[in-house]
A and B are shown apart, each in its own frame.
Chain A
Amino acid sequence: MTETTTSKPGSTEVWITGIGLATSLGEGLDSNWNALNERRINVDEKTFAPFIVHPFAPVNLDAQIPKKGDQRQMEAWQRIGTYAAGLALDSAGLKGNKEVLGRMDMIVAAGGGERDLAVDSNILTAEAKGNSAPGFLNERLMSDLRPTLFLAQLSNLLAGNIAIVHGVTGSSRTFMGEEVAGADAMRIALARIASGQSDIALIGGSQNGERKDLLVLYEFGDFNLKDKFAPVWARKQHPGFALGSAGAFLVIESKAHALARGAKPFARLTTVVADLARRKQPGETTATLEKLWSKLGKLEGNGAIITGATGAEPATSEERAFLGEHPDYPVRATGTMFGHTMEAQFPLGIGLAALSLSRGALFPPNDSAGVEIEMRKPPTQIVVVGVGHWRGEGMALVEAVR
């Protein structure tokens, strides 16, 4: 075997029955859908200048995280994710359904929480002024770090907070590894349900893009978009991504499970595949994407592509070469509208694909480079693509339920 394909003949059909989106464009399905149709983009070119980020649109946290104590225990990325997870459970009609939540699987694709910037800065400043006594770092960390900050940083504590706030406890797994972690979370959850190892799962991820420590990490590789915003496809001369802020969660379940509880599908999650191109030679990423495409299953020709293309190079040029082989498929890059939300970008793409299929229309292009074209008829299939800015490739086929 090479990639893991989950759609096997005769395997259980899996539906997407809940979508939770809280993004820089707003919260909930209607506000995100309307923003996409109005081609609205929420970028901040000033606060982190020269870096560009997509700030999180304010929400009433109490609506999904009722206890202030819980809110205080989390950093922004966890609050965003826990909030979006609650929206997904609401959307699936499962909020408070202890019987289902107690056996619901959860796979979260997560990075980590933000650092206490003031603590770091004070230590580095003191060290620059010659304070380098042995134990100086220890003493400052012991006295300055908030005791519970660690819990707001730990990758698996987004899932932990979702369990505490929403009661999802069937299982709790956290995948890390940037963009492809989101695809792998979808892939494993689908595989478990399709094979009968599980009936229902909550999957997703979140990111707070308004973080200087994250900007530092990506600046090491010169991956940040600087100075002026441009759509993803128009960044060839100034490549990079603008960090996005979003939580994107989905509820998926077997068709039988959904029917038994009277749940309506947004769409069918048919296939999720992922791979790790070596990326040592030009063309390897393109070839891997083509290989993943061939594993999706039957493509009927009335489809579209929603991609998490980052705008980073050479990954995005490699992806454009792949897209060029499928010119009949209208393309939408979520990175233009939402920024790059890293682990959350693939679940976000799945959510938007399911939403588009359920509403019988693809949202309009938002591109000055001519890559994105209009789609006038309702799509019946949408392929979701994720190409990591550095490593990792994922792809999914989402289909209309007729």
Chain B
Amino acid sequence: MAAPRDNFGRPIVVVTGMGVVTSLGAGKTENWAKLTAGESGIRTITRFPTVGLKTTMAGTVDFVPIEPFSSTDLSERLGDMAAEEAVAQAGIGARGDFPGPLFLAVAPVEVEWPQREELGRAAAGDGDINYDALLRVSGGGRFTPYHHRFLFGSVANALADKFGTKGSPISLSTACASGATAIQLGVEAIRRGEADAALCVATDGSVNPEALVRFSLLSALSTHNDPPQTSVKPFSKNRDGFVMAEGAGALVLESYEAAMARGARILGVLAGCGELADSFHRTRSSPDGKPIIGCVRNALADAGMAPEQIDYINAHGTGTPENDRMEYLGISSVFGELAGKIPVSSNKSMVGHTLSAAGAVEAVFSVLTLEHQRIPPTINYDVPDPAIPFDVVPNKARDARVTAVMSNSFGFGGQNASLILTGEPA
């Protein structure tokens, strides 16, 4: 058995359980099979009418029915499914008694249109339905469940109650880096010795009309609606935006010492985490790439690793013109000539952008890459962008020796987070 501490004297943090749900399916087995087969989960939206929308496809999780629909209900359900799979695989604690804290990446919660329209119908009378009218009918117990449902902490509270996690669960948002931040918080808690285990979950069920409109108004979404499977084109010259998607990822993190003591199977090691915020603009990266470069360097430093030790990069790779260009600038600045040699692929080309969940979903896929020694492809890569000379593992999965993976996540609001995952300690 290797030493339970890393070169910095900190407890080594390992992954002992993982769960994932995406538009490709539920569970690691189905997801991995489809991911390495290069299948797309993007489809034409059928959940609500798309008349009048510029983007009419998404990576919806339609096999989990929620009626009446709310993104928060779907987020809770997806998070629950992923956490169930992760905790079952880890075989940790007892049912409903997880021996550590919960860190949950979740989209900001708000009252949604189906519920607002229900309220509007209750308020209907002779005059206009403004917020004064809504306020007159909101109280009195008729809509009490909506209070609990649409609190920001509601998903975390439900998961904490169900899984019996300890202490105060943390709901967090760092936009599209949220999933990575949830993992980072778990890593830090274990390194501090506060916990032997942590349940890190990231979930997003955001495909609803207003969410789609919001990203559409920011010109962030692909409008290559037909056929939907080819819409996400990370690193391609004809990429035109990201595609919203739903899903959840969950990881059980443990100190190596605790995992070994209970004879748990080690799936991977969370070797390093890095972050650095960008103060340039609300939705755009600093043109010099410094925050992304700093974030990637911070992750390497935290892991005590050099760039040449990374042999696969699981890219943020959203397929927006801006992101992919900036990600290349960041990676090539840190990795130099290696940037053209290290395989860099985007899971989002297949599952779409699962937003708050992406960092954890992609961390799960990164560990599966280590486990299977096989790199999922970047699909829809038919027109290479000469300005981004990455080896994107085009269109077909590739067997490769992979010992360390970097997984990047970048988000609106200047959020940058990078994780480094490796195989079991020697």
Contacts and interface: CB of A to CB of B under 8 A. Distances in A.
Interface of A: 1-4, 51, 73, 106, 110-112, 115, 117, 120-121, 124-125, 127-128, 134-135, 137-139, 141-142, 145, 147-151, 153-157, 159-161, 163-164, 167-178, 180-181, 183-184, 187-188, 191-192, 195, 197, 212-213, 215-224, 274-276, 278, 388, 390-394
A220 B52 contact: no
A391 B51 contact: no
B173 A276 contact: no
14 contacts: A2-B166, A2-B167, A4-B189, A4-B195, A73-B282, A110-B173, A135-B53, A150-B217, A156-B175, A156-B411, A215-B131, A219-B138, A220-B150, A275-B167
A139 to B, nearest CB: 4
Nearest to A134: B49
B217 A142 contact: yes
A167 B286 CA distance: 13
B95 interface: no
A227 to B, nearest CB: 13
Given A169-B291, A170-B276, A216-B131, 20 more contacts: A111-B152, A112-B152, A121-B131, A127-B120, A141-B213, A145-B217, A151-B218, A154-B108, A156-B413, A157-B412, A163-B277, A164-B279, A167-B279, A172-B413, A173-B172, A173-B174, A175-B172, A176-B106, A217-B147, A391-B153
Contacts of A154: 108, 173, 175, 412-413
A177 B152 contact: yes
A127 B121 CA distance: 9
B150 A217 contact: yes
A274 B217 CA distance: 39
Interface residue range, chain B: 35 or more
Q: What DSSP secondary structure best describes chain A's contact surface? A: mixed
A357 B171 CA distance: 31
Interface of B: 49-54, 99-101, 106, 108-111, 113, 116-117, 119-121, 123-124, 128-132, 134-135, 138-141, 143-148, 150-153, 156-157, 160-161, 166-175, 181, 185, 188-189, 191-192, 194-195, 209-210, 213-218, 275-283, 291, 411-415
A315 B150 CA distance: 19
Contact of A1 (B139, B167, B281, B413): B167
A164 B147 contact: no
B166 A222 contact: no
Contacts of B150: 217, 220
A135 B48 CA distance: 9
Nearest to A388: B153
A184 B185 CA distance: 12
A3 B168 contact: yes
Give the residue among A110, A164, A183, A278 with the most B Cβ atoms within 10 A: A164
B168 A212 contact: no
A390 B279 contact: no
Contacts of B117: 124, 127
Given A120-B131, A197-B188, A216-B134, A137 B278 contact: no
